[in-house]
Chains A and B, each alone.
Chain A
């Protein structure tokens, strides 16, 4: 029996500051599955993530986003977060005076989660950061760990990861991969997983650590290719470039 659809995106067109970025995206993420979106800079990957999360700057011109069977197309960002969508930001803002630990507590509270702050911090190697202003002076790897710490507290059903490997050194990337796998319940048998992931990757490095079942190629705001083997897609991109992927069949 096929897993139920968790996220369904239909004919989604999005503009940012009056400029059309996405042109009719169709995409489905099934419960318990992890999908990867590849694409060159400026192809609209981040716009897709931000639109799914619900940031007001990303204006939905047409189409529909359904999450857990609920039409969330025009739902405010905080309601989506409480409903179970969570996002790891690529460049999160510094919020002066707001401590990392307080953010984690807020994440737990918003979703009525019972996770333990100290345990979560230890797991993400963030114990020393709990009393620091969120994202203030954090290195690339520290930002990722802080984002994953907050997501682990939130335990969203749909995890949106925007370039989880960017700016992370080799030492940290295995840990990042491990944490993502925990978030996505990779330790459980497939049929028991109910959390899903949508990962944006520029380089595909994260695939060495996190298994994904479906890959999409986004190019100029359109999905030009889709396949059940993200690694094959990645190889194709490496060999032929993004543009050529348009000739790959959409499965």
Chain B
């Protein structure tokens, strides 16, 4: 058991334990194995098996050289196995330990994500999940990113995760999270709850790379609450196969002039079913958001959602979803952009486009001497090349490198 039980949450979770999610294929939890979280361990990165490290690297988590990281956290299945924080003012530890250390942390549990949202959030609570706690103290700025890895090793297991990220007033936090699996074709289920609390004037960038496998089902549940002048930028990349993934991370810009940005790069290979999007509620005056996704299918299905709600005057939001269907393998892209304005003075817009690569563009590149394959690859690379505003240059380069490596597998 990782931390003391809050009867109120337990009660709500029990009531929701069979509650189907409103979106995505329903998963029979009983067909997987549940296990409680073990006590957090402290295994040196050097003692982690080379093969595991290699898999983690595929999701952007580097363990051989920690000098470019402000902290590192690794959870294998349901047990945190390593955490370090190497910069003053940046805290990285297991959620269970943080709850022991800080009594006030209870107040943050299940505030950005509802415990009874569906049976998956309920399972995370009822299984008393551990996860990572990352916090930047007031005014502190992480020089290097903090990295976290959620690693699913055991077959048929449900991995329960509960992460809490707090950026105190005026702080800056850059996080890279990589999710990976140990074995190529073993079934598994990842349930990951992440709650972000971004205080006044704080900035968080969160870059997540998913590197699952064709038999794994994934149901992340993410919520962020942004105070005045807070900034949240989420970059999400999934380019490798997954059986099914359904998530709908949401950000509530409650403070004045808060800004949330979501960039998603989605690739569905044959057999993959990805249903994801971003939801932003603009409740604070002058708050802003931009939700951008690039979706490519090479045979799988992508439902690309987006929802922006403007509830205060002078808020501004833009949704952009572009989809490319490559080849003729039955790939589907279903873009569902939604806007809701409930007061005069909101400025909300969206654009969505789904299509194939324009032949005119391919031929233009071919007229420069590129073969058809090279031209297509260059256009696809360009399509995925979203200019990410506000991400530190090194991190941007790392993310681009990860994308390029996965592209190599596409062609």
- What 0/1 pattern do residues 327 to 360 of B give for CB contact below 8 A with A? 0000000000000000000000000000000101
Any chain B CB within 8 A of the CB of A198? Answer: no
Question: Contacts A95-B379, A98-B378 hold; do A110 and B364 have CB atoms under 8 A apart?
Answer: no
Any chain B CB within 8 A of the CB of A34? Answer: no
Any chain B CB within 8 A of the CB of A106? Answer: yes
Are B367 and A102 touching (Cβ within 8 A)?
no
Are B364 and A95 touching (Cβ within 8 A)?
yes
Are B365 and A106 touching (Cβ within 8 A)?
yes
Point out the residue from A53, A109, A133 that lies within 8 Å of B367, measured CB to CB: A53
What's the least CB distance linking A126 to chain B, in Å? 15
A133-B386 Cα distance, complex, nearest whole Å? 11
- Which residues of chain B are within 8 angstroms of A150 by Cβ–Cβ distance? 368
Are B381 and A97 touching (Cβ within 8 A)?
yes
Any chain B CB within 8 A of the CB of A223? Answer: no
Residue of B nearest to A83 (CB): B369
- What 0/1 pattern do residues 72 to 104 of A give for CB contact below 8 A with B? 000011100110001101001101111100110
Are B382 and A106 touching (Cβ within 8 A)?
no
- Which residues of chain B are within 8 angstroms of A133 by Cβ–Cβ distance? 382
Any chain A CB within 8 A of the CB of B143? Answer: no
Are A107 and B360 touching (Cβ within 8 A)?
no
Question: Contacts A55-B363, A77-B363 hold; do A95 and B368 have CB atoms under 8 A apart?
Answer: no
A10-B370 Cα distance, complex, nearest whole Å? 28
The main secondary structure of chain B at its interface with chain A is helix
A107-B372 Cα distance, complex, nearest whole Å? 14
Point out the residue from A56, A76, A98 that lies within 8 Å of B379, measured CB to CB: A98
- What 0/1 pattern do residues 45 to 57 of A give for CB contact below 8 A with B? 0000000010110
Chain A CB within 10 Å, residue with most, of B360, B369, B370 = B369
Any chain B CB within 8 A of the CB of A201? Answer: no
What's the least CB distance linking A145 to chain B, in Å? 16
- What 0/1 pattern do residues 230 to 241 of A give for CB contact below 8 A with B? 000000000000
Are A95 and B367 touching (Cβ within 8 A)?
no
Point out the residue from B368, B381, B382, B384 that lies within 8 Å of A107, measured CB to CB: B368
Point out the residue from A56, A89, A97, A111 that lies within 8 Å of B384, measured CB to CB: A97
Point out the residue from A53, A93, A99, A107 that lies within 8 Å of B361, measured CB to CB: A93
Q: With A78-B375, A81-B368, A98-B385 given, name 19 new contacts (CB 8 A).
A: A56-B363, A77-B366, A93-B358, A95-B364, A95-B379, A95-B382, A96-B382, A97-B382, A97-B385, A103-B368, A106-B365, A106-B368, A107-B368, A109-B369, A110-B368, A110-B369, A133-B382, A154-B368, A154-B369
